[in-house]
Structure 1
């Protein structure tokens, strides 16, 4: 250590360490909420680097130290959040679920929130009026209604004026009736695409001029089903996959304007997206009425009627704690270097990795075991019984 302290490389190590430490402390000061994370992610690698210098010698140790400092800086840039200030954010689908919780969360953090709701006189809108600050504005916003989208743009433009809109969170979405893709009526496919994809595209295109002014953020809430194929989600998954691809393309195209785009793929959360029992009855009736005689015969009445039980049991497998999703959206809105894709919730990232990096037969086998149901179409039950007799 004495030889190191008196050598030019030793003094270089001290100088680099000092500069790195000052940078870390300045970053922590600018982002008090992330101070602990900043110090952990930065000072620990710096100490590790100095230890390497002491153990390996000045030359090799300096190389290791510079490497860990670079890695730390990359990680640090992804964790440092910009100040909230008076940043304005539009959230669609704020009546219930993630959008409703996000409107409250961002309002509590000091954002100027424009909460788009399907029903401005509904219970969700009333709760936002009652519990949120004066900064929050409610907008009547059916994202499939071009007139309402334009009117929302006019109202937001009047309020933000020259500062622009910092963020747009395309959260509004519908699930449809989870059933085998063959059974779903075309109206379900069209409705899912209309809300989950075309509506989000319409909102994005309309509000992009305001995002350009602020060099802000576009955040699209997709789904785990938008990144991996899941049984019974043909319509919903296809519409969310389209939204995810749209996000990826827009991320590339809008970077020249300084706009950052992120897609969020939550796993199962209890949001109420499955709807009410009245809606299920209506969707089930529509599904049954559109089936051909052959299809109805092959699947069997008990299998078809059992589809609703899947909806009834869905909440039991979903987490009621939405904080992972809210944290992901906040990071996408405020991080200096936000991720292009977020996968909050249990299993979301693991399943995506299995789908991307393992053989498809393995993924299909894994999903079939994980989501196995006791219900089997009538014809397959009959065929299996006959095989056993033989």
Structure 2
């Protein structure tokens, strides 16, 4: 979800534009927005999902792509933070503020922005927008959907979990019960069952729409993981944004050998989770940073692809982290499963 090309008619003054951004929780990473970025003229706005930069997961992966656009392409960047419990109007205003401040492209991080992106993009046809993790049939032509084959990476996470579980009992925690997160669940369960058809898989969702706080509540994540541990699960995979950090904490502090599986970013490398890294078996890495950077570059180069741009296992859109070396002993099994998926021999389900 990112791509917006609108420097055209910045009718409002820069000071008014930046003021409106501040009102929406946005922040420029440069004090002098007009001159920063090496004079490339590229101004990229990013509207984060709940949790924002610093969530150690999904938003942070998007932020890495934005940072690379700044360092490699000379882009001036501006970031707008989401608020818990906000309305659809809040999302629209956040995007409008980026547009009126001259940012183009504008990237929306998360499927919760779909309606807002459709409306604001329609009203601003000269601006390029990207939305991550969503695609709608009535999406305007100036919007690019950046999607991922999460089920494929999650399948590999399931293979790892089943091979490492001593109790033959594993768990999955989803932040919000949505079609997107069900892809993670479906792939994970299918991967585990491909190793051991009789393995037990606990499934817990933290919230259901319209409540999206399940992506930003480590306390809920910790409680859910503890519940699964109490039932006998010894490997738990969380697709829950920053709530997953709570699940990782519960696993890391449990008695006996228990493993957590991270998501989106390589969570064993996240500074805030450093004290738990010895309990993170692997992470299903979703390379949102790659998608964000490639989109911004396509805007700069003038060859933006509208519609859907999907990133799968074959092209490196998703992968399994090897930090810590904890899955080195099952590398051959992971490689075999990868080959089966990329060759098309294994069709990974996208729904439980």
TM-score (norm 1): 0.32
Structure that is richer in strand per residue = 2
Give the number of the structure whose alpha-carbon radius of gyration is greater: 1
TM-score (norm 2): 0.35
Structure that is richer in helix per residue = 1
